[in-house]
Amino acid sequence: MSTETVLERFLRYVKIDTQSKEDSDTYPSTSKQLDLLNLLDKELKELAVSQVELDKYGYVTGTIPSNVQARVPVLGLIAHVDTSPEATGADVKPQVISEYKGGDIVLPGDQSIVISESENPSLKLALGKSIVTSDGTTLLGADDKAGVAAVMTVVQELMKDPKIPHGEIKIGFTPDEEVGAGTKYFDIKKFGAEFAYTVDGDTPGELNKETFSANSCMVTVEGRDIHPGTAKNVMVNSVRVISEIIARLPKDISPETTEGYEPYIHPYVLEGGVGKSSVKILFRDFRTEGLDKLKKIVEGVVTEVQAMFPKAKIGMKVTEQYRNMREGVEKDTRVADYLFEGAKRAGLEPEWKPIRGGTDGSKLTEAGLPTPNVFTGGANFHGRMEWVNVWGMEKAVETVLNTLRIWAEKSK
């Protein structure tokens, strides 16, 4: 059986453009995600994984049979192939920096893009180790190809070494996580796992069993377009209206000013012209009931601005996205406890850290499959300053393998 390091896999995968797209009419949202999904289907079969399937939605699944006599709960390992719509994933040129010595990192493809040591405290964990960046013209794709590479390396190790004790393992690769649709057609019953882990985190040693609860909001403004030369008392400029709305959103509960368990309101996509404009806004709070408070804040802003522009037509629509996974994960503490012990056995000092975002695990847990999240070693996701600690990817592999062993040991 041919073998690859997690780094070698990662460098291959990031060169495949898998950027997803919001508001697409297809699933996956972009056909190019299938380039990697088809490859993973092929590689799982080459590794002699059982029941490998690429279904009509793009989900790639497979099974590694148990190699112990004890009844061990069936476990899933899941990662997503798509990269964020916020930065291009085409023609990624990964840069490997061996034995990082500290300091800022200027990226060669665009020297205005600098990974700052002061803004990246987890670089301290990379001192003397290898890290990977893009060249600065694209994102890197560590979110979540570092997770994909880690899961595939775990599969390789399990298939290569039958002495590693484990129960039945289900493998799953999903598209469209970055646009909130990673589990839209995922058949949990068919997948067959009782517990699962997403490998989709960041700093080595950080584990996640709680995420934001999340809603999205679309605010639209319909104005009245007319030639500016004859616009007096007739034109209603929707750009001005929507600008007033954005300007009145509270700045003390934005992503730029919050951390930890603090909620935020985040306007992130703005489109428009005189006749019609829109802004997409994210609501995030670890307390699901807090989402209503965020909604009311924006409703208050809309009401205030509507009074300023009575001839404009302002609409607001809120859509549920995902919910905090904590309650579902804590229904059976083994899934988190064994993961924590697995990280300790890897020589780490693990800590539970809330995700200021979401993973496929949020939806899966809500649907009845408890799915905490494992680090990958990456940082600065969704942008051109993204990077990954190779040691972190290696420790993710080790942590997952240890966790599988622990489940087998505890089931004797």
> Using CB atoms within 10 A of its CB, is residue 222 exposed (0-12), middle (13-18) or buried (19+)?
middle
Q: Could you tell me the CA-to-CA distances from 97 to 116, 253, 376, 380 in Å, in that order?
A: 15, 37, 17, 17
DSSP string, 45-84: HHTT-EEEEE-TTS-EEEEE---SSS-PPPEEEEEE--B-
Name the catalytic one among 17, 82, 168, 210.
82
Whether 35 sits among the annotated catalytic residues: the reply is no
DSSP string covering 291-304: HHHHHHHHHHHHHH
How many CB atoms lie under 10 A from the CB of residue 355?
22
- Of the candidates 43, 143, 144, 177, the residue annotated as catalytic is 177
* Secondary structure (3-state) at 333: coil
Whether 82 is catalytic: yes
* 272-307 CB burial, b ≥16 within 10 A, e <16: bebbbbbbbbbbbbbeeeebeebbebbeebbeebee
Give me 206's structure tokens. 């950080």
SS3 257: helix
**Dihedral angle at the C-alpha atoms of 300, 302, 305, 309, nearest 10 degrees?**
-140
Return phi, psi of residue 62, to 5°: -165, 170
DSSP assignments along 181-218, one per residue: -TTTT--HHHH--SEEEEE---STTEEES-B-EEEEEE
Q: From the centroid of its chain, how far is CA 22?
A: 14
| Residue 273 · residue 226 · CB < 8 Å | no
Catalytic (active-site) positions? 82, 177
